[in-house]
Structure 1
């Protein structure tokens, strides 16, 4: 299985997975021209993507879903609540899945898990390759982590994990008090500390890549997010790699057994 992050942050999110000849997106939160440009940079044709699985209805996750489906023939998978809440999906043909569902797309067996966020039916996604058994989790836009979610992502080979803000930077940042409370609340976004504690609680021998996602441009720094994760995982048996996903460029491919990345990508090896 291969994994790319096409970009992650408040201005757009998209994750590409490939296995056994099947390509799927988890979210498509960029305009179609941006998605096409990012895919071109990794030598992937948009038409080669079979489907997009939507985590929730917020604009930075669905912006290119409907238009991409019409333009390139993608199938769309989303919960019923997400379909209704996302205006751009109401006229689209959507394969409806539950918030705790198992379904198949080509070589992928996928599982959804409910998360706590200020959306209608937000979910995390775990994908398992039928041909290799490799697995990946995509967990972002959530304010807290429950036992069920931990069990769902426990033992994955690759994990895209939200590490949105540094708690001190959030409190000192430019946002009004109401927005700071929303971001730091149980239905908001995970702090670096909470993200690190979550990954530490699920890290097993198979986890090889942790990709930190949805970093705030105003209340976080890649070095802070990476350092917090490194310090916490350094007290576990984890011996993989930690990478911070940027907002404005694609990174990858990450693979279960090995990874290739450009020198411009910020990576820590433990």
Structure 2
């Protein structure tokens, strides 16, 4: 499998996973045009998209889903709560497929394992994607790390996890107090220290590559995340590969092959 983070921030989220000539989108939180352009930049064709899997109904995760589905005849997958919460967005000619946390489903060559996460939406899900003997785990937009999240990600070769904010920068930032409370709540977003703890746990379990995403442009930056994660890993002498995705920037192509990763 090949992975490219097309975007990962509060402005928009979408990850493309490719095997052969099939592309699976995990979320489509950019415009359809932006997703097409970013795929074209890395030499991938939007016509190869075989499915769009939605984690939840916030617009930074689903903005382009309807148009992409209609333009390319691509099925969209989401929990009942997510699809119903987006009822006003659907035009009626999309192919919508209901999924349920805890029950695997196939999209082209990919097997997706949805699992529940704590986030303040109708019925959120995150995913482990398996194909060609390799596995990628996704866990962003969650306020705390549950044992289920930890166990699901521990079985993967690469895990993309959230490092949304630095607690002090959020506390002293210019957001209204209610928004700060939501972000830092158990159903909000992981901070850098929570991400570092999870990174150590995953590295201890044998996860070879940890990707940090969904950074807040206001309350975080790549250097701060890298320092926090690096410090935690140095203390344990663990040496997984670590990649931090800058807000609103596309990653390079990361290959996950037979239990290892390479760029």
TM-score (norm 1): 0.91
Match of 1:113 in 2: 115
CA contact (8 A) 2:154 2:205 kept: no
Deviation per CA, 1:118-153, whole angstroms, max 9, x where unpaired? 110111110011x2x111011111101111111111
Paired with 2:77 and 2:231, the residues of 1 have a C-alpha distance of 37
Q: Is the 8 A contact 2:27 2:52 kept in 1?
A: yes
Greater shift, 175-184 or 232-241, is seen at: 232-241
Shift of 1:99: 1.9
Aligned match of 2:193: 193
Q: Are residues 1:231 and 2:245 paired?
A: no
Q: Is the 8 A contact 1:155 1:204 kept in 2?
A: no
CA offsets 1:37-79 (integer angstroms, 9 cap, x no match): 1111111111111001000000000000011111122211111
Give RMSD over aligned pairs.
Answer: 1.5
Unaligned residue ranges in structure 1 (runs of 5+): 261-270
Alignment of 1:4-15 (within 5 A): 4-15=4-15
Question: SS of the counterpart of 1:235?
Answer: helix
Distance change (3 Å), C-alpha of 1:157 and 1:201: same
The alignment partner of 2:223 has SS state of helix
- Please give the alpha-carbon distance, in whole angstroms, between the structure 2 residues aligned to 1:134 and 1:206: 13
1:153 aligns with: 153
1:265 aligns with none
State how 1:46-195 maps to structure 2 within 5 Å.
46-86=46-86, 87-89=88-90, 91=92, 92-129=94-131, 131=132, 133-195=133-195
Correspondence for 2:26? 26
TM-score (norm 2): 0.93
Q: Using the alignment, how far apart are the partners of 1:103 and 1:160 within structure 2?
A: 20
CA contact (8 A) 1:7 1:250 kept: yes
Tell me by how many angstroms 1:206 deviates. 4.2
Q: Is the 8 A contact 2:66 2:91 kept in 1?
A: no
1:144–1:112 CA distance, 2 compared to 1 (3 A): same
* Alpha-carbon distance in structure 2 between the residues aligned to 1:69 and 1:237: 45
The separation in 1 between residues aligned to 2:172 and 2:73, in whole angstroms, is 45
Q: CA deviation at 1:89?
A: 3.6
Per-residue deviation at 1:252? 2.2
Measure the CA separation in 2 of the matches of 1:114 and 1:71. Answer: 30
5+ unaligned residues in a row in structure 2: which ranges? none
Q: In terms of mean alpha carbon deviation, does 11-20 or 90-99 score higher?
A: 90-99
Whole-Å separation in 1 of the counterparts to 2:254 and 2:246: 15
